[in-house]
């Protein structure tokens, strides 16, 4: 059995991480959903108290670096409605199919996101989950199921499949049982976890649900949907979602303000992109013309979609190199393989497939 650390150091908005460049604040966004007003608030915090950038994480959250006044930042984040629970802020880890309810899929999982978030916050025991345990809700298109969350649901045509560590268990649930089942698994995990923080660290993950048998996982998706996306869900014809990839996941606060100025619902995806949703054609057309020159990526053939990096130097003291600069520089060489650059063997943010390149201080060597 793999044993985790005894303490959970995963940062949040209140329990921050002291990085080499100052306090790191992570804001959980269940299902990646964020309003324009909330994004404006975070951009303001970053501009006024931080590095002037927002980082998109591999779990569809946002983080702010180099925060000089953590209390003031938390007050602004709370006032924006992004900190609904001081006790449970780090365990609201819910990833969901970002286009659900708007394009494709077998179901609209967004109501489950809200229901699950409320149920997690209502259960005192679940504070013990820690910040790394996460839940996935896949509407059947097989995008977030491949991320290997600790517990999840995948909507099949014959029912809602319960997943453990990203693997189908053979258990099928009715829609009304989805959230109670996810909460039951999370509760059971707190009982049997020992000092494991993730389901795949347990000796027998199937013990989390009666009759569960771990089967196959799902292929990893590593690229976001970008560009002009026609919404085809019922009563949504004519509406457009714009998919904008954010190079290396670093969004300048100034560009975030432009995104917020569209005043549309926004979704942060686990593939470091932003969806700007529910636009009419004229607004989408103008938004595309404004946002593309600001560095957001709308071209599905862009090499930016094939490269990512951890924080690296100077933000992370463990790093052997400025991996973001090196990742950007790597675009000068064509590569068919998706590459993730990391500054140490922790390999933060590594996608489930593709090449992981480790900085040695004298170049890079493949870690995977």
Enumerate binding residues for ligand SF4 (CB under 6 A).
Answer: 310-312, 316, 318-319, 342-344, 346-348
The residues, ordered by sequence, that sit 6+ positions from 274 with a Cβ below 8 Å of its Cβ are 56, 243, 244, 246, 251, 259, 266, 267, 268, 296
**In the complex, least distance from residue 348 CB atom to ligand SF4, rounded to whole angstroms:** 3
**In the complex, least distance from residue 341 CB atom to ligand SF4, rounded to whole angstroms:** 9
The residues, ordered by sequence, that sit 6+ positions from 155 with a Cβ below 8 Å of its Cβ are 105, 106, 107, 109, 138, 139, 140, 161
Specify the residue, 61 or 319, whose C-beta has the smaller distance to ligand SF4. 319
**In the complex, least distance from residue 39 CB atom to ligand SF4, rounded to whole angstroms:** 24
**In the complex, least distance from residue 364 CB atom to ligand SF4, rounded to whole angstroms:** 13
**In the complex, least distance from residue 251 CB atom to ligand SF4, rounded to whole angstroms:** 17
Task: For Cα atoms 131, 175, 209, give the angle at the middle one, nearest 5 degrees.
Answer: 55
Specify the residue, 168 or 326, whose C-beta has the smaller distance to ligand SF4. 326
Specify the residue, 241 or 319, whose C-beta has the smaller distance to ligand SF4. 319
Which sign, positive or negative, has the C-alpha torsion 37, 39, 42, 43?
Answer: negative
The residues, ordered by sequence, that sit 6+ positions from 177 with a Cβ below 8 Å of its Cβ are 160
In the chain, alpha helices (H):
36-49, 70-79, 110-122, 178-192, 253-261, 281-291, 323-329
Q: Please state, in angstroms and rounded to a whole number, the distance separating the CA atoms of residues 182 and 193.
A: 16
Distance from the Cα of residue 6 to its chain's centroid: 24
Specify the residue, 23 or 163, whose C-beta has the smaller distance to ligand SF4. 23
Specify the residue, 113 or 310, whose C-beta has the smaller distance to ligand SF4. 310
The CB density around residue 194, as the number of other CB atoms within 10 Å, is 11
Specify the residue, 63 or 319, whose C-beta has the smaller distance to ligand SF4. 319
**In the complex, least distance from residue 58 CB atom to ligand SF4, rounded to whole angstroms:** 11
């Amino acid at each position: 059995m793999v044993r985790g650390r005894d303490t959970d150091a995963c940062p949040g908005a209140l329990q921050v991480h002291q990085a080499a460049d100052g306090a790191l604040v992570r804001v959980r966004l269940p299902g990646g959903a964020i309003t324009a007003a909330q994004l404006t608030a975070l951009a303001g915090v970053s501009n006024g108290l931080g590095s002037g950038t927002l980082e998109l994480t591999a779990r569809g959250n946002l983080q702010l670096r180099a925060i000089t006044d953590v209390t003031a930042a938390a007050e602004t984040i709370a006032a924006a409605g992004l900190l609904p629970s001081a006790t449970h802020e780090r365990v609201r880890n819910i990833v969901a199919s970002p286009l659900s309810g708007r394009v494709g899929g077998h179901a609209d999982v967004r109501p489950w996101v809200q229901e699950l978030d409320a149920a997690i916050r209502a259960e005192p025991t679940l504070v013990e989950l820690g910040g790394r345990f996460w839940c996935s809700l896949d509407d059947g298109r097989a995008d977030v199921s491949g991320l290997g969350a600790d517990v999840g649901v995948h909507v099949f045509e014959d029912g809602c499949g319960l997943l453990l560590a990203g693997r189908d268990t053979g258990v099928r649930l009715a829609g009304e049982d989805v959230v109670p089942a996810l909460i039951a698994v999370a509760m059971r995990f707190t009982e049997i976890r020992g000092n494991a923080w993730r389901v795949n660290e347990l000796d027998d993950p199937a013990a989390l649900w009666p009759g569960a048998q771990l089967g196959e996982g799902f292929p990893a998706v590593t690229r976001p949907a970008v560009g002009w996306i026609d919404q085809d869900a019922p009563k949504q014809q004519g509406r457009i979602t714009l998919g904008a990839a954010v190079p290396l996941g670093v969004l300048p606060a100034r560009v975030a303000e432009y995104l917020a100025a569209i005043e549309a619902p926004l979704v942060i995806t686990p593939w470091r992109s932003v969806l700007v949703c529910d636009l009419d054609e004229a607004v989408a057309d103008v938004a595309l013309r404004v946002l593309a020159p600001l560095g957001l990526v709308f071209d599905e053939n862009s090499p930016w979609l094939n490269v990512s990096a951890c924080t690296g130097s100077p933000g992370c003291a463990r790093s052997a190199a400025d991996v973001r600069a090196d990742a950007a520089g790597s675009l000068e060489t064509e590569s068919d393989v998706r590459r993730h650059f990391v500054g140490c063997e922790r390999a933060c943010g590594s996608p489930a497939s593709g090449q992981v390149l480790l900085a040695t201080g004298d170049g890079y060597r493949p870690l995977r």
